[in-house]
Structure 1
Amino acid sequence: MAVTSGCPRGRQRGSAVPFAVACLGLLLAVGAGLGVVGALVAGHRSAQAAADLAALAGAGASSRGEDGCAAAAATALRNGAALVACELHGDGVRVLVRVEGPGWRGWHGDLRAEARAGPVP
């Protein structure tokens, strides 16, 4: 005597395919999201490096009697950033730089970083 499950075998054929396609779609979306997050982190690191170098260049120029903000702007530009703000405080300099961030699905944002260099107050 044959044992049957009560469910005709024909109704279950191919039921794993939609599930597999949905799982692959979800995996693709998560991978794309992680890629954007990775690009944001890398972009922010680049912005922070440009800000640090611009602040050091500005403080060095200011201590020599030169225009610290001009030196900071030139250094930021050489490092792929734009100087947004620059404040001189004696021999110290505080800068804010902006780099173009990654875009995703029509969203595009700029990344900013701030740094200070000079003698300890």
Structure 2
Amino acid sequence: MSPVRDERGSATLLVLAMCGVLVLLAAALAVVTAMVAAHRAAQSAADLAALAGARGLAEGRNGCAQAAEVARANEARLAACAVTGRVVDVVVRVSGPRWLGQTADLAARSRAGPAP
């Protein structure tokens, strides 16, 4: 006969390990969600900046200056602006989430002008 082993407490270790995995998955999901939200904010800021730039050009003002002002109002910074005729191309950047070692800024591009 073999002696009976005491297995009390083994379920506690299993539950602790599962909780650790769940916390890690939740943190990763939170980072991904924050990055998606920041990218959507960048795209919205780029679209609005391009529209403001095109509107400024149509009214005889500096389109890139108008785009930079609208980007700033949307908590983004204008990274690039190009005017070709009456079309404004912009690239804006927003700060990405700074969780779990993420340091990247997110960029978005947009273009606006009159219909051809």
The two structures have a TM-score, normalised by structure 2, of: 0.94
Question: Is the aligned partner of 1:102 residue 2:85?
Answer: no
**2:110 is matched with which residue: 104, 112, 115?**
115
Unpaired segments of 5 or more residues in structure 1? none
Residue 53 of structure 2 is matched in structure 1 by 58
Seq. identity, %: 51
- Structure 2 Cα separation of the partners of residues 7 and 103 of structure 1: 54
Q: What's the offset of the Cα at 1:108? A: 1.1
What is the one-letter code of the residue matched to 1:92?
V
Residue 33 of structure 2 is matched in structure 1 by 38
Asked which structure has the greater CA Rg, the reply is 1
Q: What's the offset of the Cα at 1:109? A: 1.1
* Number of residue pairs the alignment of both structures matches: 116
What is the one-letter code of the residue matched to 2:67?
A
Q: What's the offset of the Cα at 1:120? A: 3.1
Equivalent position SS for 1:52: helix
Equivalent position SS for 1:97: strand
- Structure 2 Cα separation of the partners of residues 24 and 86 of structure 1: 48
Report the aligned-residue RMSD.
Answer: 1.5
Equivalent position SS for 1:115: strand
Unpaired segments of 5 or more residues in structure 2? none
Higher normalized strand content (fraction of residues)? 1
